[in-house]
Structure 1
Amino acid sequence: MKKILIVIPIIILIMGFSLFNRQSKEEKFWNWVSKNKIELENFINSDQEDYTIYNQLTKEMKKYNSVLFPEMTLTEKDEVVLIITPDGMPEGVLPTEKLYNSKPELDNWIIKKFRQATDEIGLNYDGIEYPSSDIEIIPELDNERGKINIKVFIRNMNSDVKKHQALSFLYLDHILGEYNTITKVGYIDFYHLDNDKSVENGISLLELRKLIEKEFN
């Protein structure tokens, strides 16, 4: 009987210790980032020919949630910027928030959630490149759903429809702000726009952002 009384507390102790030390999914991800911080910094400061460590970062983030995606860049002060993005997917909003809220303090790093709004940016997608001014918008307020439906006109879209549309989504995320795109933009319809044409009553992406801010903020 004495032996049983001795063994049981030891088992409980071991189980309790194991449970106490179990890492959350968020902790596992950020511990991996902390462990590989220097390699990630070397990558973003390099000519970026070797994407091995960045691909590993992507894999680790997708282990946490399959729709999340990391984007890395540098500030003018050479600070590393890591953006956690759901890549425009609504189901990724809550996981993005949760992973961001558990972020550690990393020296010389800035961690952001969602692609941030900017007034102007130049982007390309898989060899397709055009300025945001090649996109004109016809907005329609949807009061019932609390969103703005948009008709998106893209110059020369008929040259490669899918890639032009994919690039326009990136412009939406970066000029409206990804959170606005996910939560405030409703239905999206795409239209080709001839190079020498403009859309009557069309507005720019920046004007669309200001309209969203006016209507919903």
Structure 2
Amino acid sequence: MNKTLLFLFSTVLLVGCKSETKTKEEKFWNWVSENKVELENFINSNHEDYTIYNQLTSEMKKYNSVLFPEMTLTEKNEVVLIITPDGMSEGILPTEKLYDSKPKLDNWIIKKFRQASDETKLNYDGIEYPSSDIKIIPRLDKEQGKVNIQVYIRNMNSDVKKHQALSFLYLDHILGEYNTITKVGYIDFYHLEMDKNVENGISILELRKLIEKEFKTTER
């Protein structure tokens, strides 16, 4: 083999090795970049075809099985992609790592964790009720740095599991998901009758303010 062929052969090997050493983060974000237009078309559509979104979910779960993508639009029609561990504590570090490796994508905003908001309207698998239907009795555990909560959900007996799932979403979106994972300890659920109230019960927003005050938390 002459020197020229040897050089070319070595170069091919180096290129091949380089392509094989892409990080898991690079592989995921490369896929997003390659499918950016299709993802934008999806989030701007009437959402009849979830194929590309399901593929995005699959790619994120290849990266880490507990992570999940959420997509929405801002008022300026910017695409928002939220990387969420779906309330799982073991997903915190993978979420941070994937977020820290994010590329710059035109007209996209990439966030980690479901962000806190003062109020929001959510539904889960056909179940819909306002966050005002949730009342909470908090119990501070300063030794553990957490707050244990009793969650009272109005009319929960109609579909217990779905009502509880929706309440978790409200906690994530009003407390902020990182606060829910790291600062909320034990959670006990109770049915609240339509015409009853919870003495000393507080709202989720008031719970967030309590957590911020007691534990000096900041949004991630």
Which TM bucket (shorter chain)?
over 0.9
| Match in the other structure for 1:115 | 114
| Match in the other structure for 2:92 | 93
| Match in the other structure for 2:171 | 172
1:29-66 C-alpha deviation (Å, 9 max, x unpaired): 00000000000000000101000000000000000000
| Match in the other structure for 2:83 | 84
The alpha carbon displacement at 1:15 in A equals 4.7
1:18-37 C-alpha deviation (Å, 9 max, x unpaired): 33332110000000000000
Query: Does the alignment pair 1:211 with 2:210?
Result: yes
**Unpaired runs of 5+ in structure 1?**
none
2:160 counterpart letter in structure 1: V
- Aligned-partner Cα distance in 1 for 2:24–2:125: 32
Equivalent residues in 2 for 1:1-217, closer than 5 Å: 15-21=13-19, 22-217=21-216
The alpha carbon displacement at 1:143 in A equals 1.7
- Aligned-partner Cα distance in 2 for 1:216–1:49: 43
1:99-126 C-alpha deviation (Å, 9 max, x unpaired): 0000000000000000000000011111
The alpha carbon displacement at 1:8 in A equals 9.0
2:127 counterpart letter in structure 1: I
- Aligned-partner Cα distance in 1 for 2:140–2:84: 26
- Aligned-partner Cα distance in 1 for 2:75–2:8: 56
**Unpaired runs of 5+ in structure 2?**
none
SS in structure 2 at match of 1:87: coil
- Aligned-partner Cα distance in 2 for 1:151–1:54: 35
- Aligned-partner Cα distance in 1 for 2:74–2:23: 31
The alpha carbon displacement at 1:10 in A equals 7.7
The alpha carbon displacement at 1:93 in A equals 0.4
- Aligned-partner Cα distance in 2 for 1:91–1:13: 41
2:151 counterpart letter in structure 1: V
- Aligned-partner Cα distance in 1 for 2:41–2:7: 49
TM-score between the two structures when normalised by the length of structure 2: 0.92
2:103 counterpart letter in structure 1: P
The alpha carbon displacement at 1:171 in A equals 0.2
What percentage of residue pairs aligned between the two structures are identical?
79
- Aligned-partner Cα distance in 1 for 2:5–2:188: 68
TM-score between the two structures when normalised by the length of structure 1: 0.94
- Aligned-partner Cα distance in 2 for 1:7–1:18: 16
- Aligned-partner Cα distance in 1 for 2:97–2:51: 26
The alpha carbon displacement at 1:17 in A equals 3.7
